[in-house]
Amino acid sequence: MERILKDFIYYLSVERGLADNTLDSYQRDLKKYLQFLKKHNIKDFHEVSRAHISQFLLEQKEKGLAPSTLTRNLASIRSFYNFLLREQIIQENPAAELESPRTEKKLPRVLSFKDMERLLEQPKTGEAIGLRDKAMLELLYATGIRVSELVSLSLNNVNIKMGFLRCDGKGNKERMIPLGSVAIKSLQDYLQYGRNKLIKQKDEKALFINQHGKRLTRQGFWKILKKYALKAGISTEITPHTLRHSFATHLLENGADLRSVQEMLGHADISTTQIYTQITRRKIKEIYDQTHPRA
């Protein structure tokens, strides 16, 4: 059963071209599921029924897992059984008709313009590390890219002269995102005065370098962001994705069309982007209530 799981992960990686983070999620979910099957002495996928999968999900729920996590678990199991069907290992998918747990869609947390400005002002640009941090924060807010996409950037992904960033997103889908003048200036300063002080090897291709001269990691950026959020006096919880949410929301608040924002974020489905319109509607209602004399 473990060998078949390895084949499935290989299929997702090579044929579907899924990102490493997505592959890790599938692997974690399905390893947990296989442990459940072993515990119940199920040694073959033919023996699995719909009731077994329901029992697995119930056990996970009793452990306190969130509905969104249970939904992801079921999606992983369903995809796995579709693969088994495709490979003719089983004749029917026992997870096919199982309903996903109902999840409440939470609105993404975003920063106000003032909080964002305070955050972007924190790096000390008189030193190489500060120039790097300023460029990273400005780039994230200017483009809305994911932190995994940010740390994966190499020098050839940025065209400062043309004012564009080439980004390889989920499923290796390439997209071109325009850069604002402030982000371009921050990148220029970092490349001219900061990056050469951080690199140890001249042939290093990574755009953003850590203090050891290597490519910066997601964990490394997370620590940097938390440090600046604390300095800026931002009391709400902030993650790298908060900057992505803020990018999309601020664009829509200032009149950008939904399709353009979808394209820049790299969303396959526009319904994923539409959640930001709920935030802008809420903001408009707040402004109306505060300013209209007969509200």
Catalytic residue, candidates 72, 132, 134, 244: 244
Contact 282, 275 (CB under 8 A): no
Q: How far is CA 210 from the centre of its chain?
A: 21
* 122 three-state secondary structure: coil
One DSSP character per residue, 47-90 reads G--HHHHHHHHHHHHHTT--HHHHHHHHHHHHHHHHHHHHTTS-
Verify whether residue 244 is a known catalytic residue.
yes
Spatial CA neighbour of 27 closest among 41, 50, 38, 11: 11
Contact 97, 103 (CB under 8 A): no
Phi, psi of 256 (to 5 degrees): -70, 150
Catalytic residue, candidates 146, 195, 245, 250: 146
Distances (CA, A) of 286 to 50, 289, 291: 47, 5, 9
How many residues in total does the chain contain?
A: 295
Contact 155, 207 (CB under 8 A): yes
Verify whether residue 226 is a known catalytic residue.
no
Spatial CA neighbour of 52 closest among 70, 39, 66: 39
Catalytic residue, candidates 50, 170, 214, 215: 170
* 267 three-state secondary structure: coil
Catalytic residue, candidates 32, 109, 267, 283: 267
Verify whether residue 146 is a known catalytic residue.
yes
Catalytic residue, candidates 173, 241, 282, 285: 241
Verify whether residue 46 is a known catalytic residue.
no
- The whole-angstrom separation of Cα 180 and Cα 142 is 6
Catalytic residue, candidates 141, 190, 228, 276: 276
Which residues are annotated as catalytic? Answer: 146, 170, 241, 244, 267, 276
